[in-house]
């Protein structure tokens, strides 16, 4: 909970897409949902489909409740490295031009 935030690259998370190791990227934050799969009210299948990937859009498409958002915190394991983050639709930036090309950031640490 406390201390330094662990940082991940999108690249290294891609392989964590299995039932025994499943992570999700939601709004630039990283969640380990392995232990949540069986408890997810929306079912494990939708989570596994997005495991290892960015699930921000499908997460918002469902209009998850504030309860769901509070519950997420329990599974947060870190955040994306700065260069792999994407602008979210709610945070205005003058340079934001709807160009999604940044989304597939290839930046690797080191
Ligand atoms: C850590 C991440 C997530 C948490 C904690 C979470 C939690 C929940 C909770 C508590 C519900 C019950 C309804 C509500 O309270 O809003 C729910 C429903 C649902 N979730 Fe998630 N969810 C997560 C991620 C996702 C993702 C990534 C998807 C889609 C890819 C998804 C799809 C759904 C669906 C389809 C439902 C069912 C809605 C319904 O039947 O009315 N969830 N989720």
Q: Is residue 58 lining ligand 1, measured as CB closer than 6 Å?
A: yes
Distance CA 24, CA 14 (A): 9
Q: What mean pLDDT do residues 1-5 have?
A: 74
Q: What mean pLDDT do residues 82-109 have?
A: 59
- In terms of Cα–Cα distance, which of 42, 2, 47, 44 is closest to 26? 47
φ/ψ (deg, to 5) at 69: -65, -35
Which residues, in sequence order, are CB contacts of 47 under 8 Å at separation 6+? Answer: 22, 24, 33, 36, 37, 40, 55
Model confidence at 1, pLDDT cuts 50, 70, 90, reads low
Q: Is residue 40 lining ligand 1, measured as CB closer than 6 Å?
A: yes
Model confidence at 89, pLDDT cuts 50, 70, 90, reads low
What does the domain layout of the chain look like in residue ranges?
7-88+99-104
Q: What's the CATH number for 7-88+99-104?
A: 3.10.120.10
The confidence score (pLDDT) of residue 3 equals 74
Q: Is residue 17 lining ligand 1, measured as CB closer than 6 Å?
A: no
The confidence score (pLDDT) of residue 109 equals 54
Q: Residue 39: is its pLDDT beyond 50?
A: yes
């Amino acid at each position: 909970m406390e201390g330094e935030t662990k940082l991940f690259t999108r690249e290294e998370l891609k392989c964590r897409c299995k039932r025994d190791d499943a992570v999700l990227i939601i709004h630039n934050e990283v969640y380990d949902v392995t232990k949540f799969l069986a408890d997810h009210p929306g079912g494990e299948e939708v989570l596994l489909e997005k495991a290892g990937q960015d699930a921000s859009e499908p997460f918002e498409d469902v209009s998850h409740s504030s309860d769901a958002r509070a519950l997420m915190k329990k599974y947060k394991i870190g955040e994306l490295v700065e260069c792999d983050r994407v602008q979210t639709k709610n945070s205005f930036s003058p340079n934001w031009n709807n160009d999604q090309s940044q989304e597939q950031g290839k930046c690797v640490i080191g």
